[in-house]
């Protein structure tokens, strides 16, 4: 049995109890800063950018 996480990026193989995840994309650390600049330019400075962990996702929160 193989279990997948983060849309297939993380892989766990139950037969060998092996867990694999590739390194984070090089540009992922830049995403929160880039999105903050974009939101400021759109007049939404109150929006909060959350790095979702794992290096592959961010979320934008606004009320």
First-to-final CA distance of the chain? 42
Per-residue pLDDT tens digits for 8-51: 677 888 888 888 877 777 777 777 778 888 888 999 888 888 87
Band of residue 55 on the pLDDT scale cut at 50, 70, 90: low
Query: Which residue range forms the structural domain that includes residue 52?
Result: 2-61
Alpha helices by DSSP H, the chain: 31-41
Confidence bin at 54 (pLDDT 50/70/90): low
Q: How many structural domains are present in the chain?
A: 1
pTM for the model stands at 0.48
CB atoms within 10 A of CB 54: 13
Contacts of 55 (CB under 8 A, 6+ apart): 23, 24, 25, 28, 29
Phi, psi dihedral angles at 57 (to 5 degrees)? -150, 145
């Amino acid at each position: 049995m193989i279990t997948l996480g983060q849309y297939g990026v993380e892989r766990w193989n139950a037969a060998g109890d092996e867990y694999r995840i590739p390194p984070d994309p090089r540009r992922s650390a830049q995403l929160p800063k880039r999105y903050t600049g974009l939101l400021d330019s759109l007049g939404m400075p109150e929006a909060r950018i959350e790095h979702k962990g794992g290096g592959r996702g961010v979320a934008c929160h606004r009320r």
